[in-house]
């Protein structure tokens, strides 16, 4: 197997067995002796494909054998496989008729980065956010039960995704439904993994066998006639299993726990899945895998190799360091600087330490750093509790993930006017990850909340100043900033806050006024120069700089608002509402994200598709001016 990026296949490897297993139906015709060869070929194929396109890497390498076993044992797509998040689903895509389209992965018009129902009948549930699989598979199992058919439902969830409350809500609810389903826990990092070994694998096969199940039910029938005897036997079985398997929690919730088993041992996996496939009720299989299996750098550093960019000949696997700092890096440095000056600062993230650039903060201030795992709702209410006690929480969270904690944002923070700063990363379009990860709606869903301070920086220096502004503001505040790098603006010394609710005219002009909310300022500047238009960096969505809006409306024929957010309910709507309040009739052109999901592509391509590049902005303005003149 490849040990370094230089050994990743540059051309599609020869795969005689994989050539005969391009659909699950073909896969199930193979003999079991051929499956180990298939696993090696599939791993090589995945290395080749992701090296060509970039994308999620380590998780897929870790579930090669599990993916083969699931499709080999279950009658997919009739039986439902529900993959959680989708990071682990690339081998599934290769085995379900999409192998020869994998080079289009994450490319415009190509395969999506995550499972999607419209892409394949084998993608039974669309995903992107974590921890939804058990709920969705349970819904499918209940539907099957109501119809009276024998279709199987299987949820495959990672140990990270299992940390979310939604997963436990589903685990807790399932026993009340009396449905039959299987949950496969793909565990590649949990402390309970130490139980892997020959004895636990042997135990798993015994406990999942039809013979054991029959004996267990027979014993129940006999012992249930004796007062207290069945309860004693059940407890004895539970304690015996608990000595060898970490499944007591799941057993107490009402699930039949089996495992842990070696997720890279195909014969054991297939035998155990076959045993469990036809067992009635709720079944839980704990599988231990190695993230990045078969690729030494990914095995050694699974965080760094969670995803990679497209490999070019002679280049390293990891992203090359950009000339300009990423917006997330600006936030990370600000966080450390502010924490050094204020012992009341605490940093909170829902499992996005690396993505939000909080690694340095977590190392310098470990007692004030809180990674709550994939639990966005808890992250926000935890911050609220800390704020109640006089601390100053900074919640670093992706825009798309903040959607999951909207009630907590309103009810637990804003309604109580608590002093929490939200550093909202990945605002706007995010490129190849597509609409599941785009921050398209945060301005819209934030600005309707009373007393929220909402800021949109146009460059790196503005981000730093706005973070300081929000931090010093005595109440809930949000700063939204995009993925990637900015224009490499010089950082002013110190961290001076902005005057709240005040925008800035960057360029005076005539006829047309461009009111820009955020990083589209660079595109707008080109248009303003070409049209001799006024350019205003609005900075604040809430409170809106109303005197500046009124001035621009009175001095120009056309107002144009620009934002990388949904037009509906966005910053442009705020400007329109204010003009309506003044009863000031002025033509208003609102430019932003359209009322549809913008499909994955390069960020620049997505902006152009939405008419938010310089060319599209200018064309929209000239079209509106012509209409006004006509």
The catalytic residue among 106, 241, 404, 447 is 404
- Asked whether the beta carbons of 591 and 566 are under 8 A apart, the reply is no
- Asked whether the beta carbons of 235 and 193 are under 8 A apart, the reply is no
| DSSP symbol at 325 | P
Residues 6+ apart with CB under 8 A from 410: 449
DSSP β-ladder status, 534-537 and 504-507: antiparallel
Residues 6+ apart with CB under 8 A from 50: 56, 57, 60, 90, 105, 308
Reduced to 3 states (helix: H, G, I; strand: E, B; else coil), residue 537 is strand
d(C-alpha 596, C-alpha 428), whole Å: 14
Question: How many CA atoms, within 13 angstroms, populate the side-chain half-sphere of residue 426?
Answer: 22
**Does residue 499 have an active-site annotation?**
no
**In 365-432, alpha helices (H):** 376-388, 399-402, 406-408
**Does residue 404 have an active-site annotation?**
yes
d(C-alpha 95, C-alpha 102), whole Å: 11
- Asked whether the beta carbons of 238 and 298 are under 8 A apart, the reply is no
**Does residue 542 have an active-site annotation?**
no
d(C-alpha 107, C-alpha 100), whole Å: 14
The catalytic residue among 98, 241, 291, 483 is 291
Burial class (CB in 10 A: 0-12, 13-18, 19+), 212: middle
- Asked whether the beta carbons of 113 and 106 are under 8 A apart, the reply is yes
**In 58-164, alpha helices (H):** 58-62, 64-73, 90-93, 133-147
Per DSSP, the chain holds a count of helices (H) and strands (E) of 25, 19
The catalytic residue among 45, 65, 376, 563 is 376
- Asked whether the beta carbons of 599 and 568 are under 8 A apart, the reply is no
**DSSP-assigned letters across all residues of 253-306:** HT-EEEEEEETT-HHHHHHHHHHHHT--SEEEEEEE--TTTT-HHHHH-TTTTS
Residues known to be catalytic:
291, 376, 404
């Amino acid at each position: 197997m490849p040990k370094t990026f230089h050994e990743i296949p540059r051309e599609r490897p020869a795969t005689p067995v994989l050539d005969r297993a391009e659909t699950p139906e073909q896969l199930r015709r193979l003999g079991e002796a051929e499956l180990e060869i298939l696993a090696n070929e599939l791993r090589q194929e995945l290395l080749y494909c992701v090296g060509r396109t970039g994308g999620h890497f380590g998780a897929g390498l870790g579930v090669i054998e599990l993916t083969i076993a699931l499709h080999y044992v279950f009658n997919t797509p009739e039986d439902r496989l529900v993959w959680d998040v989708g990071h682990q689903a690339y081998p599934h895509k290769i085995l379900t008729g999409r192998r020869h389209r994998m080079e289009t992965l994450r490319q415009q018009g190509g395969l999506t980065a995550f499972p999607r129902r419209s892409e394949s009948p084998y993608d039974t549930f669309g995903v992107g956010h974590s921890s939804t699989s058990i709920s969705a598979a349970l819904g499918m199992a209940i539907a099957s039960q109501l119809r009276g058919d024998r279709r199987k439902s299987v949820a495959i969830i990672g140990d990270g995704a299992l940390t979310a409350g939604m997963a436990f809500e589903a685990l807790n609810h399932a026993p009340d439904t009396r449905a039959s389903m299987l949950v496969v826990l793909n565990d590649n990092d949990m402390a309970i993994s130490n139980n892997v070994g020959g004895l636990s694998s042997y135990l798993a096969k015994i406990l999942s066998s039809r013979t054991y199940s029959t004996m267990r039910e027979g014993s129940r029938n006999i012992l249930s006639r004796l007062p207290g005897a069945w309860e004693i036997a059940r407890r004895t079985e539970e304690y015996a299993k608990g000595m060898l398997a970490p499944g007591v929690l799941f057993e107490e919730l009402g699930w039949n726990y089996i495992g842990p088993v070696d997720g890279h041992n195909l014969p054991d996996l297939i035998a155990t899945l076959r045993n469990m496939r036809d067992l009635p009720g709720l079944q839980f299989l704990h599988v231990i895998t190695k993230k990045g299996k078969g690729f030494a750098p990914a095995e050694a550093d699974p965080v760094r190799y969670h995803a990679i960019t497209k490999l070019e000949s002679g280049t390293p696997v990891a992203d090359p360091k950009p000339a300009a700092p990423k917006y997330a890096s600006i936030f990370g440095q600000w966080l450390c600087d502010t924490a050094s000056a204020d012992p009341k600062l605490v940093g909170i993230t829902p499992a996005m330490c690396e993505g939000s650039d909080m690694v340095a903060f977590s190392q310098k201030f470990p007692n004030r750093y809180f990674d709550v795992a994939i639990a966005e709702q808890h992250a926000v209410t935890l911050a609220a509790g800390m704020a109640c006690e006089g601390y100053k929480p900074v919640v670093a969270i992706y825009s798309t993930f903040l959607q999951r904690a909207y009630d907590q944002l309103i009810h637990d923070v804003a309604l109580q006017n608590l002093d929490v700063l939200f550093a909202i990363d990945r605002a706007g379009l995010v490129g190849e990850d597509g609409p599941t990860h785009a921050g398209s709606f945060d301005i819209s869903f934030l600005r309707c909340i009373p007393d929220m301070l909402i800021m949109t920086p146009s460059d790196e220096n503005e981000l730093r100043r706005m973070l300081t502004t929000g931090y010093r503001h005595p109440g809930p505040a949000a700063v939204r900033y995009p993925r990637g790098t900015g224009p490499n603006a010089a950082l002013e010394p110190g961290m001076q806050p902005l005057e709240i609710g005040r925008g800035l005219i960057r360029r005076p002009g005539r006829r047309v006024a461009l009111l820009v909310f955020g990083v589209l300022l660079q595109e707008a500047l080109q248009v303003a120069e070409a049209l001799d238009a006024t350019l205003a960096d609005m900075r604040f969505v809430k409170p809106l700089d109303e005197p500046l809006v009124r001035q621009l409306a009175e001095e120009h024929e056309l107002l144009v608002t620009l934002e990388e957010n949904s037009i509906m309910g966005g910053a442009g709507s705020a400007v329109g509402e204010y003009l309506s309040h003044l009863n000031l009739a002025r033509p208003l052109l609102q430019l932003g994200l359209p009322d549809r999901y913008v499909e994955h592509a390069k960020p620049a391509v997505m902006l152009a598709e939405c008419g938010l590049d310089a060319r599209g902005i200018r064309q929209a303005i000239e079209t509106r001016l012509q209409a006004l003149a006509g």
